[in-house]
């Protein structure tokens, strides 16, 4: 098991509250059955079942095996939510973050059962790690920037059950290391890009999990 270490400040390279921590969890043991997932305590769960291995551990959901058409289509468009006249509006934008490695669309086969965090890791869950002596003792700032309809930039609280932000990849690894120490097995880790996209798409190929259009519903 890798010992949790404290990365230097120069290596953290935190992304101004942009990186949100998600977790994956590989089944313990050398042999993994195709119809169930074995937890570190020997209990088995089936695909799409939720589990929580310890009181401080995040809720995880076992992903079923399957295929994924990975990448962005040629006409892919990004959307964002903005406050317009006091209401949330969906704004269609171009794709300023598009990179060449999103092409071409390609098929990826998920042939090993893994579990993915039901939600992003919250600020409270992160601080539980810090309070227990893990995560390098790093305390995120706990605020995010918010632009009002009048284009005033405010710094608002982002604590409690909100997703933890302002953490680096190395910070995320230290959180996973702490979880592994809690359950006594080397199973928690950061998901790969393909694993995260497979979970986020939820078996769909539409622009959003709910379809090609997004609404405030």
Same domain, 123 and 86: no
H-state helical runs in the chain: 9-12, 123-131, 169-183, 193-201
Same domain, 115 and 190: yes
In a domain, 42, yes or no: yes
pLDDT tens, position by position, 156-210:
899 999 999 999 999 999 999 999 999 998 899 999 889 998 998 888 887 777 7
In a domain, 211, yes or no: no
In a domain, 3, yes or no: no
In a domain, 116, yes or no: yes
Give dist(CA 208, CA 204) in Å, integer.
8
Task: Using a cut of 0.85, tell me whether the model's pTM lies above it.
Answer: no
Give dist(CA 177, CA 41) in Å, integer.
17
Sign of CA dihedral 78, 100, 115, 20: negative
Token output for 175: 């959180």
pLDDT tens, position by position, 24-66:
666 544 334 567 778 877 888 888 999 999 999 999 999 999 9
Same domain, 80 and 185: no
In a domain, 173, yes or no: yes
In a domain, 187, yes or no: yes
Contact 91, 79 (CB under 8 A): yes
When divided into structural domains, the chain yields a total of: 2
Same domain, 133 and 166: yes
Same domain, 81 and 144: no
- Range(s) of the domain holding residue 120: 9-65+111-201
Model confidence band, residue 147 (pLDDT cutoffs 50, 70, 90): confident
Same domain, 81 and 181: no
Same domain, 44 and 120: yes
């Amino acid at each position: 098991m890798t010992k949790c270490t404290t990365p230097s400040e120069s290596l953290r390279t935190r992304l101004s509250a942009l990186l949100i921590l998600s977790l994956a969890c590989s089944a313990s043991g050398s042999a993994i059955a195709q119809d169930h997932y074995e937890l570190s305590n020997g209990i088995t769960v089936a695909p799409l079942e939720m589990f929580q291995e310890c009181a401080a551990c995040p809720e995880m959901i076992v992903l079923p095996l399957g295929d994924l058409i990975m990448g962005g289509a040629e006409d892919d468009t990004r959307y964002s939510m903005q406050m317009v006249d006091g209401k949330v509006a969906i704004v269609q934008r171009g794709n300023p973050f598009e990179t060449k490695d999103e092409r071409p669309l390609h098929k990826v086969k998920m042939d090993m059962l893994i579990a993915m965090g039901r939600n992003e890791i919250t600020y409270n869950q992160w601080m539980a790690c810090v309070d227990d002596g893990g995560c390098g003792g790093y305390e995120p700032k706990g605020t995010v920037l918010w632009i009002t309809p009048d284009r005033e930039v405010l710094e608002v609280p982002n604590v409690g059950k909100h997703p933890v932000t302002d953490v680096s990849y190395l910070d995320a690894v230290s959180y996973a290391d702490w979880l592994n120490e809690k359950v006594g097995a080397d199973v928690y880790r950061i998901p790969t890009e393909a694993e995260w996209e497979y979970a986020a798409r939820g078996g769909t190929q539409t622009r959003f999990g709910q379809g090609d259009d997004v609404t405030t519903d």
